[in-house]
Amino acid sequence: MRRPTIADIAQRAGVTKAAVSFALNGQPGVSAATRERIIAIAAEVGFQPSSAARALSDGKAGAFGLVIDRPARTLGSEAFFMQLISGIQGELTRDHMSLLFTMAEDQAAEIGMYRTWWAQRKVDGVFLVDLQSRDRRIAVLEELQMPAVVLGTPRGTGSLPAVWQDDRAAVTTVVGHLAGLGHARIARVGGFPRYWHSQLRTEAFAAVADDAGVEAISVAADYTAEHGAEATRDLLRRAQPPTAILYDNDVMAVAGLGVAQRLGTRVPADLSIAVWDDTVLCEIVHPAFTALRRDIPAAGAAAARMLCSAVAGGHPGSLQEEPPVLVVRDSTAAAPGGSGQRRATRRDVIEILAIQAGHFT
C-alpha cells in the first residue's frame, strides 16, 4: 500500500498543499474549520510527516543519536548497552522521540557520522559513551554546537553534561567486602585501557587496595570471553595467585569461572569472584556471582531528559547516579587457608599487567 502524502490530503480536502502544510504544522493561513477538516483527513488516511519534512518546518528532527565504536562481537554480548538503550528509549517514547542507533569502526568514523547527521538534520542531539582521555569527539560537538550528553565520567567532557557513577565508591564497596573476608591478594580484570572509566577504576582499585592493606593486581582485557579466560588462566598460574578476582563485566567473569573449574580451582573455596554491573547472567550461573548493582536504565532515562532539556535551550548540569549496591551471592567466601591473617601492613605492591593483543592501544 502506498504511503499517503500531503498531495493526497489536499486532493481529498479540496485545498492546496500549502494549506495542508499550514494546518498540520499549526501555522496561520487557514481557517479553524479547514484546519480541523485537514487534520481529520490526515488521521483517517494514516498520514505521518517524515522526519525530514518536520526538520524543514520547525528545525527539529524528532530523534537523538547514539553511536558505539566497539567491535560488534563485544557489543553483542554486553548487557550494559541493552539496559542503557531501554532506559533512553523508554523516556524518549513519552515525548514521541526516536533513537537513531548505529555502530562505527573507530572514533574518526563516529565523528564523521555526527557531522553528517547534523548537516542533514537527522538528529537533534547525541548520547556519548565510552569517553576516552583526550577525546576528539568533545571538541567536534562543541564546534558544531550540537547538544550532547555523556554517559560516563565528567572528567574531560568540556562543556557537555554527564551522567556518571562514582567509580571509587564502587571499588571501595567491593574491596571492602573481599578484604573483610580475609583476602590479601585481589585481582581485577578490566576493560580497554583507553577508556576513561577503565583508567579511573584502575586508579581507584590501586588506591583503595592500598588503604585496605591488600595487594592489588590489575589486568587489562577487552570485555570478551576469550580475554576474560586468558587473563584468569594467567592469574591462576602465578606463583602466588590471587584469592579473589573482580571482573569488569559478566561475560569475562563466566569465562573466568570456567577456566578456574578446569584448573581445579574451587569457587568460592579457593577463589572468590565478584562482577561489575549485576545482570541476569550473574544470577543463573553456579555459583551465582556477587555483583555491583546499579540502575542502568535509570541512568539512560536521566540522560534522555537532560538531552531533551539541552535541545530546548536549557543548560543541564552533570548528574551523579545513586551509589551501586553490592549484591552478595555464593561466589564470594572467606579467603582460603586463613590468608587473611597475612594482610600486609607495608605499602602495597601494585602490579599492572596487559594482555598482548594487536588491537590494544
Where do the domains of the chain lie, and which CATH numbers do they carry?
6-49 (1.10.260.40), 63-165+297-320 (3.40.50.2300), 167-293+325-354 (3.40.50.2300)
Residues of the chain with pLDDT under 70: 1-3, 48-59, 73-74, 76, 338-361
Residue 338: the pLDDT is 61
Range 205-212 contact pairs with CB under 8 angstroms and sequence separation of 24 or more: 205/171, 205/175, 205/246, 206/348, 206/350, 207/168, 208/168, 208/171, 208/172, 208/175, 208/176, 209/175, 209/348, 209/350, 210/347, 210/348, 210/350, 212/175, 212/176, 212/179, 212/343
- Alpha carbon separation from 236 to 37, 255, 357 (Å, rounded): 74, 13, 20
What's the pLDDT at 60?
Answer: 76
φ, ψ for residue 83, nearest 5 deg: -70, -40
Gyration radius of the chain over CA positions: 26
**Count of CB atoms situated within 10 Å of the CB of 8:** 17
